[in-house]
A and B are shown apart, each in its own frame.
Chain A
Amino acid sequence: MSTTTTSASPPGTQDPPKPAPRPAPRSAWRRALRRDWQLYSLAVLPVLFFLVFRYLPMIGNVIAFRRFEPGGSIFGEQWVGLRYVRMFLTDPTFWQVFRNTLWMGGLTLVFCFPIPIVLALLLNEVRRRSLKRFVQSVSYLPHFLSIVIVAGITLQMLASDGPVNHVLGWFGHDPIRFIQEPDWFRTIYVGSEIWQTAGWGTILYLAALTTIDEDLYEAARIDGAGRLRQIWHVTLPGIRPTMITLLILNVGAFMAVGFEKVLLLYNPLTYPTADVISTYVYRMGVESNNFSYAAAIGLFEAVIGLVLITTANQLSRRTVGTSLW
């Protein structure tokens, strides 16, 4: 039985009451460190990784505000302020490709986000394990193909004498030269994205599905829920954290429309809908080696991405309760 030892003033003295010791801010940290030092230690190497290999090179982005000459200092020669930012803000072509990027990013999000979920749910319903594994493994094969191959396959499919036009021929339709029509580009791009990523995207959801408690299904069945109801009330809520995480991440990656794929599928005829920020910057770079311009645009995209993901995160926290942070 210990008694707290306080320096109580001897009874009877007329000392003014000492003010209560204000907790120094540093002691809150000290407390945290003492309690969780092991956790912090686990974070040391990763944070170092970020600092050295991610934040240090970021200093290079300073060339967005300096004049950079390839071969000279990697940090540019002299300050030019917002010159490059102004350049692209007033460039009408930039706004057109910006619009295209928004369109394609949006379409990709709307279609490529839900499809792996649906596919995972369907796969989950397959009774026989071997069949389920077979379909699973096959569905993610396209992910392994390099973008060059996928683009080649896409072009072959859409050729005038290719399979798609053959099918059109059965319905008496004249062959369409899809690759030359700007109106078809978005469909083609999103279609090939779905084909390449749907199967791979199910992996995470399938892993998440394994963590759902079997008892919950039992309980639902006892309550009289049919299979579809069970999915709605048990499965979906069970994978909700994964869904939210992926949704927020995908919103953040909104602007990162696949550069290589667009580059391989587009041509001057489809520039009006196909040209995105990354391909435009690429052409500018190849022609003029204007790294500063590219860096300025890169920063612009980065800011947008960051704003998007923070907004999505806040929204998600307020409405659904789960969020990335």
Chain B
Amino acid sequence: MKRERQQNAGQLSRRQILAAVGFIGLASLTGCGSGDGGGDSKDLSKKQNGAMKEFRVGQQFKASKPLSFSMLHNDNPGYPYKASWLFWKEVTKRTGITIKPVDVPLVDYEKKRSVLIGSGDAPFLIPKTYHPSEVAFVSSGAILPVSDYAHLMPNFQAKVKKWKLEPEIDSIRQSDGKYYLLPGLHERPKSGYSLSFRTDVLAKLGLSLPTTWDEVYDVFKAIRQEYPDRYPFSDRWSTNTAFTVGALQSYLGQAYGVHAGWTYDNISFDSKAQKFVFTGARDEYRAVIEYLRKLVAEKLMDPESFTQTDDQAIQKLLAEKSFAISANPQELVQTYRYNLSKQVKGATIEMIPVPIGPAGPVVLDGIRLENGVMVSSKALKSDDFVAMMQFVDWLWYSDEGQRFSKWGVEGVTYTYSGGTYTLEKGISLMGSDPSAKKDLQKDYGFFNGVFTYGGSWELVSSNFSPDEKKFQDAMSQRKQLPIAPAHPLQSAEQEQASLWTIPLQDHVAQNTLQFILGKRPLSQWGAYVSELKAKNMQQLVDLHNKAYERYKKEHG
């Protein structure tokens, strides 16, 4: 009698347990068979549902019957997701496709993405993916080798060809010769960060804006002489990164021809020697460290730059405790200039093109590729697959689609004449019209970072502010550093490499700071390199060179 009662109490839960066990059993069964979804991937004859028979560049994509696709949506707090956006409606009107967004807050986008993919619950389209994060999902077969299906995407292929992006595309290929990400494509490299100076202070001291790093040093020295109790330069972008003052090190490294700061990577390609080497031990990298060390030693740069928060650095600028800071065009206008104008009378601040160093007028390699779209392998199983690829091609890679994502509907949200795009009255973009009641991003869903990036220079520059225009014009004239050839590791090698990578990276980051701050004399550089060797530096380099040779042999 009593036992029955116990059983009843647990009955409902038991059903749920059975369901769970059943599912997990199923998952492991399908798991055993996964990783090989590409068996019949080449035969697309049954997946033509809704596709256009002939889809060419310049054509408006229109599905022959209404379809819908799921997509991961990166929710930017600057323009929170709204189901009522004109963007969604207009997409359906023009293409017959309804996008079903799975909403994820920006701040946790990567983590949720990996949980969704890892648990097999990912939507078909996964945008806002930065290379090399797609690499982790390659070996399991969870994402599609999109290079196999690029023939379905005329706009994508046309742009790669027109803008000569083949070397960049090659650099993201994996060990099987295929690439797994549809990257954003830029016609011309778009630079992001550089130094900004208080131009009124420079004018007062009779100095002109520096164009080389040597001139930067002279300017700092002059400022220090005038204000001996302050650091001329206190920097930011040191949080959430092992390579602090990430922006500064990145564009400074650029001038020396090396990837540093945010863009640091243990392995880089020495084009003279035609092989891969360890970045943290290169002479160019040492030169970057020496330059910064000099600045700190002569009290031209605030040592706290390397650990303070952005707020602390900005506060120093606004309180006139410093006169130079790293910037991007947005921060320059919206944070520095705007606040300086309110707090310091007559203050002016300008961003200079990245100062030139021993490598000459160059920009970093590989920046013509941007974040892009991953396609889940599940999409291949759908009958609508071809239509989906055509849709992706139109929305993200056709001129018409890109213009639409960025500016919206002509006559409703913008007008275009004489090569300039003008927003309709009453609509503002990023504060362009403070009196406007509506915002292009918040209320209409256009200029959304999930869809809007890359493109022709004409389109990309169509919304530049005067500062940005000046900056980008100067920077885009520069030569790109040579692009590293493909050197993809196989998954067993990757595991081995991953064990070496972090300790090496940590050691480089640590010693970079110690050398710069003078805690370790540069005379110990040799000892530092020996320590790196003890941490398997040479083995890592050899691994990559081996992969490089192998790839060259297999794929020419």
Contacts and interface: CB of A to CB of B under 8 A. Distances in A.
Answer yes or no: are A and B bound together in one complex: yes
A269 B519 CA distance: 10
Contacts of B306: 180, 267, 269
A33 B2 contact: yes
A52 B502 CA distance: 36
B79 interface: no
B408 to A, nearest CB: 36
Interface residues of A, number: 46
A56 interface: yes
Contacts of A72: 31, 34-35, 139-142
Nearest to B118: A70
Contact of B506 (A40, A41, A71, A271): A271
A291 B141 CA distance: 17
Given A51-B17, A52-B20, A73-B31, A269 B6 contact: no
A159 B494 CA distance: 40
A37 B242 CA distance: 58
A290 B495 contact: yes
A159 B312 contact: yes
B477 interface: no
B114 A268 contact: no
B510 interface: yes
A269 B514 contact: yes
A44 B6 contact: yes
B412 interface: no
A160 B2 CA distance: 71
B503 interface: yes
Interface stretch (B8-16, B150-158, B468-476): B8-16
B54 to A, nearest CB: 34
19 contacts: A33-B3, A34-B2, A44-B6, A48-B17, A52-B13, A71-B140, A71-B143, A72-B34, A74-B27, A74-B31, A74-B119, A91-B499, A92-B503, A93-B503, A159-B304, A160-B304, A180-B307, A267-B238, A287-B505
Contacts of B35: 69, 72, 77
Instruction: Report the 3 A-B pairs with minimum CB-CB distance, sorted nearest first.
Output: A73-B31, A71-B142, A288-B498
A269 B510 contact: yes
Contacts of A293: 499
A290 B502 CA distance: 12
A289 B142 CA distance: 14
Interface of A: 33-34, 37, 40-41, 44-45, 48, 51-52, 56, 59, 69-75, 77, 87, 91-93, 152, 155-156, 159-160, 177, 179-180, 267-269, 271, 275, 280, 283-284, 287-291, 293
Contacts of B510: 268-269, 271
B117 interface: yes
Nearest to A159: B312
Given A71-B142, A268-B509, A41 B6 contact: yes
A194 B223 CA distance: 43
A87 B304 CA distance: 37
Given A71-B141, A267-B307, A288-B501, 14 more contacts: A34-B2, A44-B6, A44-B9, A52-B20, A70-B140, A77-B31, A77-B140, A152-B309, A156-B312, A159-B312, A160-B304, A177-B307, A268-B242, A280-B502
B304 A268 contact: no
B307 A179 contact: yes
B31 A44 contact: no
A44 B501 CA distance: 49
A70 B142 contact: yes
A283 B137 contact: no
B32 interface: yes
